Structure 1
Amino acid sequence: MKGKVVFIGGGPGDPELLTIKAYNVIKAADIIIYAGSLVNKEILNCSKKSARIYNSASMDLREIIDLMEKETNNGLTVARVHTGDPSIYGAIGEQIRELKNRKISYEIIPGVSSLFATAAALEAELTLPEISQTVIITRPEGRTPKPDKEHISSLARHQATMCIFLGVHMIKDVVKDLLEYYPPHTPVGVVKKASWEDEFVVRGNLENIAQKIEKAGITKTALIVVGNILDPGDFKASKLYDADFTHEYRNAHKLK
């Protein structure tokens, strides 16, 4: 009987942000392959003593898939642990394609993204009424190319809440692109290692954030959030709890 691969969102760093479902799979898994450069190894503390653990940071795609094939053919469960939620820059698409080609069973368990741990660290709602109702998740172009229409300067045209992964090491270029459409005073928050014990937050605006990040020495494992939701001032409350708004579960209060 063949085993299967379970892709797991390991969360942003805090072991307590691992989902119960992911915890149960890690606890029972025979083989664990985790993204060691990003995943907090403490989340693997629940694994059984007999589990064999591999750090994928030193492995290429073929080595990972070959290992998955070998162990699932032996009827074992392979937990493939990614940081945050694996659907965002998790490189699971290429792994799934290979598993399909080799007819290896798999499933995916979502996780808490570093984006949401970052929002929590910034004490921010990313979608405030009449401030921004759109969240753009992107990254600057590096060694991984991007479609031309997804250049940060093009996305900045919307002036929505923008969450930028994998870009803090090129913060000056990111800011230059953002300034194509965002005003210089637009608030920016940068969170390094959101939810980890050594989490570090830097706040500023597009005029000064590059200097602040350079001074802080942040070059990786940080997420950039841009938009007026970080400093909205006064804003209108949503209709969700408005006493004068009727919806399926509540009637509006009648004026006397």
Structure 2
Amino acid sequence: MNKVHFVGAGPGDKELITLKGYKLLSDADVVIYAGSLVNPELLEYCKEGCEIHNSAHMDLQEIIEVMEKGIKENKSVVRLQTGDFSIYGSIREQVEDLHKLEIGYDCTPGVSSFLGAASSLGVEYTVPEISQSVIITRMEGRTPVPSKESIESYAAHQTSMAIFLSVQDIQKVVERLNEGGYPMNTPIAVVYKATWADEKIVKGTLEDIAVKVKENGITKTALILVGQFLGKEYNNSKLYDKDFKHEYRS
């Protein structure tokens, strides 16, 4: 029996899907894609006659029914998810229902938007002696967040942070980052639709970012990146230091 193929679509740019993901997508008989979160240009890779469904208009049961029908008809089924489905991809609930139906699946990872955003900014999250960790999180909304994973508790580390699904409350995010430990002069960037043709980047500090985001009309589909990795201070790595010896360079 065929499997359902979960494929990470990448952050937006149609060329940032993996080669394996592209092959699965171009060979698919049925594609269920994650609505406005996936660049519709990716659907240009689908073959003629491919049955395409926009999951923005579907609930979980409807998605599973399309998958089950496709598999029973011995068709190749692709679930095309935004970025990489391991981050806020809602894959678990789909997989659990497939298990109940004894339908197999496999997963092809994609490039997450937090990686696409860093590339657009030309930065790295891990700068020697500045930041060696990245926190990926979101602020609670209609979906709760465990109390021990609050923005304030993570801000106490003052490391690099990528905050998803929260730009609509940017002022509240700023307040909580500051309460947790980031000083108001901490650099911050908001990247709207990273790697898409209409990408927009807004830079500032905790002091002024909320005003700048409002002026630019950004209310959704944006990442908030905060931390000193965005600042001017940096240190060279040991890896390419001429005096640093290792097994490949003496």
| Cα distance in 1 for residues equivalent to 2:117 and 2:45 | 25
Q: Which residue of 2 aligns with 1:213?
A: 213
| Cα distance in 2 for residues equivalent to 1:238 and 1:219 | 37
Q: Please state if 1:226 is matched with 2:226.
A: yes
Structure 1, unmatched stretches of 5+, are 252-256
Give the alignment of 1:22-101 within 5 angstroms.
22-101=21-100
Q: CA deviation at 1:232?
A: 3.2
Q: Secondary structure at the match of 2:45?
A: coil
Q: Which residue of 2 aligns with 1:176?
A: 175
Q: Which residue of 2 aligns with 1:254?
A: none
Q: Which residue of 2 aligns with 1:5?
A: 4
Give the alignment of 1:78-157 within 5 angstroms.
78-157=77-156
Q: If the length of structure 1 is used for normalisation, what is the TM-score?
A: 0.95
Q: Deviations over 1:162-204 (max 9, x none)?
A: 1000010000110010001100000000110111111100000
Q: Deviations over 1:69-113 (max 9, x none)?
A: 111111111100011111110111111111112111100000011
Q: Which residue of 2 aligns with 1:200?
A: 200
Residue type at the aligned position of 2:205: N
Q: Secondary structure at the match of 2:32?
A: strand
Q: Secondary structure at the match of 2:107?
A: strand
| Cα distance in 1 for residues equivalent to 2:45 and 2:214 | 38
| Cα distance in 1 for residues equivalent to 2:51 and 2:235 | 53
Q: If the length of structure 2 is used for normalisation, what is the TM-score?
A: 0.98
Structure 2, unmatched stretches of 5+, are none
| Cα distance in 2 for residues equivalent to 1:174 and 1:128 | 24
Q: Deviations over 1:4-51 (max 9, x none)?
A: 100000011111111110100011001000001210010110111121
| Cα distance in 2 for residues equivalent to 1:56 and 1:236 | 45
Conserved 8 A contact 1:3-1:74: no
Q: Secondary structure at the match of 2:156?
A: helix
| Cα distance in 2 for residues equivalent to 1:248 and 1:103 | 49
| Cα distance in 1 for residues equivalent to 2:89 and 2:249 | 41
Q: Secondary structure at the match of 2:213?
A: helix
Residue type at the aligned position of 1:15: K
Q: Deviations over 1:150-170 (max 9, x none)?
A: 010111010010100001000
| Cα distance in 1 for residues equivalent to 2:16 and 2:120 | 14
Q: Which residue of 2 aligns with 1:20?
A: 19
| Cα distance in 2 for residues equivalent to 1:44 and 1:13 | 12
Residue type at the aligned position of 1:61: L
Q: CA deviation at 1:245?
A: 1.4
| Cα distance in 1 for residues equivalent to 2:184 and 2:40 | 40
| Cα distance in 2 for residues equivalent to 1:88 and 1:109 | 13
Give me the identity figure in percent: 55
Q: CA deviation at 1:248?
A: 2.3
| Cα distance in 1 for residues equivalent to 2:246 and 2:103 | 46
Q: Which residue of 2 aligns with 1:247?
A: 246
Q: Secondary structure at the match of 2:215?
A: helix
Aligned residues: 249
Residue type at the aligned position of 1:171: I
